[in-house]
Structure 1
């Protein structure tokens, strides 16, 4: 708090003091008091006023400094009303009481929203599990009656399943910690399962896949499988015109293992590369090729953040894209 601001806040008090001094000076002049007496009175008055302002400024500055320190060090700032420093001023007590009531209302509203979100998330999860039954049924019927029609139905059914999985993992993305198990995972096995799951989609698009994952990583197999599935679908969606290929491989680096998903597709414009993880961003490729939701890479980055995986991308327009997942190995895990 600046002293000039403090003075501005008390301008009415100063004007009142000045007016009182003017009235006293008129009274002394009218009653014939010597000028020296008046000067002593005004000097004492002025010194007392300055002393009061100095003490008051110091106390208010210290009070607001304590409040600022509380805000800086507390994680849950909505608890400010409970942590405000003590003050003898009635005005401060009234403000503190108002802040407490306001924060209480905010906390109740937050809890209400959290409860509504939890109910909605549970509904989505229940809906996904229910709809998976007919999806699996359609898949089995297509496998038992193979012809051109059932092959097409199976392909579309796989697309539906992928979108359903995306809805499920998006609903769970805020509470990944409740549903993951970190363990040593065979990335070769995960990659093969993802490719097998999308084999019809890959065949239809004439895409060759190559897997060379010789390393293991500490992660959750289910979540990394979903992330890798999204990357494969993206690579398929933005494939090149001929000799389309997807390569999934691993590399060891100083702090862990890298999983690289490379393709020779249409690539990404340099000016758009920094925005590919933005929610709903489709870019120029999304508008000129197969319809895109702009949720795949957004969800991948979000889940990678929850799992402690670093995700990055390299791309050149017309020359393909490479997505890199880095699985750091902590000193604790390295001892196991």
Structure 2
């Protein structure tokens, strides 16, 4: 701030120094003017000017220091009242601007909330004909047609579910209910949903449970598992080995693994698979991928203090690992 202040007052400082230098120069040329007293006067004025600059520096930079150090938000309460007329102009301008920005932000927030509510309402409305469609599909006698329609129905169902949870994610903390969840029942429920797809691809599940209870939120945990199981089925080749789902205890923490034997993930893509909208560089032509499933799964897992890790090699299958928090750590989620 000192450097900035000197640059701001450079013209005044240069004018003063020029005046003192000119006075010394005239005293040096004119023998009738005693040089020593003039030099003494110049020294006194320079000292006073330095003291004056120091005092003015503290007063003039106080307001601007607060502007420089304040957080980037619309709250101006941390800034002291302006003293000089120029500071008052800046304060008035900032106050008017923040009030306008606050009004615009409020209108946008209301519009976004309204859009979110309308979309959630639309999703719930769509679920009704989707349920009716499933009942109609189940009554079909043509097994080939039935399998094809069931697969397409499942795709719509999963996309709607993903969209629903995406809209709920920002307010997820208000929707959490931490309890002991039956992990085994949750896994079997999600596998049952994917049953028709797995039959179509000739893929089975090998389920191994050492730990069946975890402390988490059942609804959001089911969503995370749904994304991992869906990915495992989607990227497994037809008639490939079973998808392995197993839970065990490691370092006093519950660990759940979902392992497929599909095409795997290219090593250069691994650091980006949880990025929003990222699909793949190797399989970029896959139009069915949205790049949202793993992103949403990780966001939900972070809120539940679940750590997601992935290990994969191109052509060697993929293993996703969920490491659950210890019971005492869930206090950070509930706030209790």
Fold in common (TM above 0.5): yes
**Which stretch of the first structure deviates more once superposed, 45-54 or 85-94?**
85-94
**Paired position in structure 2 for 1:182:** 178
Deviation, 1:130, is: 0.5
The corresponding residue for 1:89 is 84
- 1:15 paired with 2:14, answer yes
- Shift of residue 19, structure 1, vs aligned partner: 4.6
CA distance in 2, matches of 1:234, 1:169: 17
CA contact (8 A) 2:190 2:225 kept: yes
Of residues 312, 315, 323, the one that matches 1:326 is: 323
CA distance in 1, matches of 2:234, 2:135: 25
TM-score for the superposition, normalised by structure 1: 0.87
Deviation at 1:65, TM superposition (A): 5.4
The count of corresponding residues between Structure 1 and Structure 2 is 329
The question of whether the paired residues in 2 share the 8 Å contact of 1:310 and 1:326 is answered with yes
Runs of 4+ in 1 over 6 A off after TM superposition: 25-31
Counterparts of 1:96-135 in structure 2 under 5 Å? 96-135=91-130
Q: 1:302 to 1:333 in 2, by over 3 A?
A: closer
Specify the SS of the correspondent of 1:284. Answer: coil
- CA distance 1:333–1:103, change in 2 (3 Å): closer
Contact kept, 8 Å, 2:256 with 2:323, in 1: the verdict is yes
TM-score (norm 2): 0.87
Once structures 1 and 2 are overlaid, which stretch shifts more, 112-121 or 252-261?
Answer: 252-261
CA distance in 1, matches of 2:101, 2:168: 25
Find the partner of 1:201 among 190, 193, 197: 197
After TM superposition, give the deviation of residue 255 of structure 1 in Å.
Answer: 4.6
Q: Could you list the runs of 5+ residues in structure 1 that have no partner in the other structure? A: 72-76
CA shift digits 1:24-59 (9 cap, x unpaired): 668878895433443333222111111112223344
Task: Please tell me whether the aligned partners of residues 70 and 80 of structure 1 are also in contact (alpha carbons under 8 angstroms).
Answer: no
Aligned to 1:47: 47
Distance 1:145 1:171, change over 3 A: same
Unaligned runs of 5+ in 2: 332-336
CA contact (8 A) 1:246 1:263 kept: yes
Matched, 1:312 2:309: yes
CA RMSD, 1 decimal = 2.8
Q: Give 1:137 deviation, angstroms.
A: 0.3
Deviation at 1:70, TM superposition (A): 5.2
- What SS does the aligned partner of 2:112 have? helix
Q: Deviations over 1:269-296 (max 9, x none)?
A: 1111111011111113533557311111
C-alpha distance in 2, partners of 1:199/1:234? 14
CA gap of 1:27–1:83, structure 2 versus 1, over 3 A, is same
Q: Is the 8 A contact 2:298 2:308 kept in 1?
A: yes
